[in-house]
Structure 1
């Protein structure tokens, strides 16, 4: 009996998450309400609050799940990488997957701005499971950096390029494409991370 209840609870949670993800993609984070999420999924608001204390926490769980999915293919390739250039391409392939999920990239950007004003969310969002932080980036490239240039600085630079591109892309004002951004990131990484021959 308890097992059936656990399975039903898991199914309810998954259906609510799918509903939320769909509505966030269509309407945005701020415009989507808990009532809309539950009605869209065919559940009561009580079902929602049995799984999450707020819409914010639901969103964070969706982000974490999406990034886990994206990272799985990246991590396999990183394990086989042999050079800084190869690692950089793998990282930017991963970032391009996020950008290609256009609606979701915009919603994540919207949530990032929203979370920046709420200290708890801002702190949560800075954790590595929610974004490619400078620390995570440094861990990915550090074995291939041959100079004393801080890998965290390379990570910060790549984050700035990527997030700046996402803003331009969301606004539809970008004249620089992702290929240009990747090229700039690669140039900076190789120029600072490799010893001159």
Structure 2
């Protein structure tokens, strides 16, 4: 119910009283589970993200992790899930708000996504490319995000997600080859240890978690 209200009215414009009236629960029941509206929103994000993550990881079952077509399907699934749940507008409202708690939460989600992309790129391109793959993860996220944004401006809701994802993935394949040939990069992969100090690892792999913000 809160999710629907946040989409229809906006997070800032929705009060706890609105949520109580719309969902038919008491104030005591609300505060038994959430200390604030912020905490409810973060719980909503985490619930939707975990569901998407489960679906995304199921695509890898019985498959070769280096198969780039599986990666493409994972990205398509993430985008479709986020569009279905209207997460774009909610994330944007938080990002441009002055609420430091929520902005810090979104930042952590974004950094975890970069960690996931980095690990998937190791699966796809190999350990020998590791020094360059954090840069490539950041560039891929930017390329995909803005390709989606401006195709939506140009074509509205009818734009082809599959075509955009495949186009963007082709670009990142070229990026990996180019940065390796140049031997140049901006971000050292070791930065992920500082960005994500609480992520559990299995060997050298970060736990697969959180989604791309589209």
TM-score w.r.t. the length of structure 2 is 0.66
**Partner residue, 2:122:** 142
107, 119, 126: which one aligns with 1:126: 107
Q: Map residues 150-165 of structure 1 onto 2, 5 A cutoff.
A: 150-164=132-146
Quote how far apart the aligned CAs of 1:103 are: 3.3
The CA distance in 1 between the partners of 2:86 and 2:44, in whole Å, is 14
CA separation of 1:188 and 1:138: change in aligned 2, threshold 3 A: same
The CA distance in 2 between the partners of 1:168 and 1:45, in whole Å, is 43
**Partner residue, 2:164:** 181
Secondary structure in structure 2 of the residue aligned to 1:78: coil
Q: Whose helix proportion is higher, 1 or 2?
A: 1
**Partner residue, 1:10:** none
Contact kept? 2:76, 2:165, Cα under 8 Å: no
**Partner residue, 2:175:** 192
**Partner residue, 2:88:** 105
Quote how far apart the aligned CAs of 1:188 are: 2.3
Quote how far apart the aligned CAs of 1:86 are: 2.2
**Partner residue, 1:63:** 45
Quote how far apart the aligned CAs of 1:40 are: 0.9
Where in structure 2 are there 5+ consecutive unaligned residues? 182-214
Quote how far apart the aligned CAs of 1:152 are: 2.0
The CA distance in 1 between the partners of 2:70 and 2:136, in whole Å, is 12
Secondary structure in structure 2 of the residue aligned to 1:127: helix
81, 94, 98: which one aligns with 2:77: 94
CA separation of 1:29 and 1:91: change in aligned 2, threshold 3 A: same
* RMSD, aligned α-carbons: 3.0
1:77 and 2:47 aligned: no
The CA distance in 2 between the partners of 1:68 and 1:60, in whole Å, is 12
Structure with greater contact order relative to length (CA < 8 Å, sep ≥ 6): 2
Secondary structure in structure 1 of the residue aligned to 2:12: coil
Contact kept? 1:84, 1:145, Cα under 8 Å: no
Quote how far apart the aligned CAs of 1:85 are: 2.0
Quote how far apart the aligned CAs of 1:154 are: 2.5
TM-score w.r.t. the length of structure 1 is 0.71
The CA distance in 2 between the partners of 1:165 and 1:63, in whole Å, is 24
Where in structure 1 are there 5+ consecutive unaligned residues? 1-18
Q: Deviations over 1:62-119 (max 9, x none)?
A: 01100111111210223423435224303322222234316343223322322xx333
Quote how far apart the aligned CAs of 1:33 are: 1.0
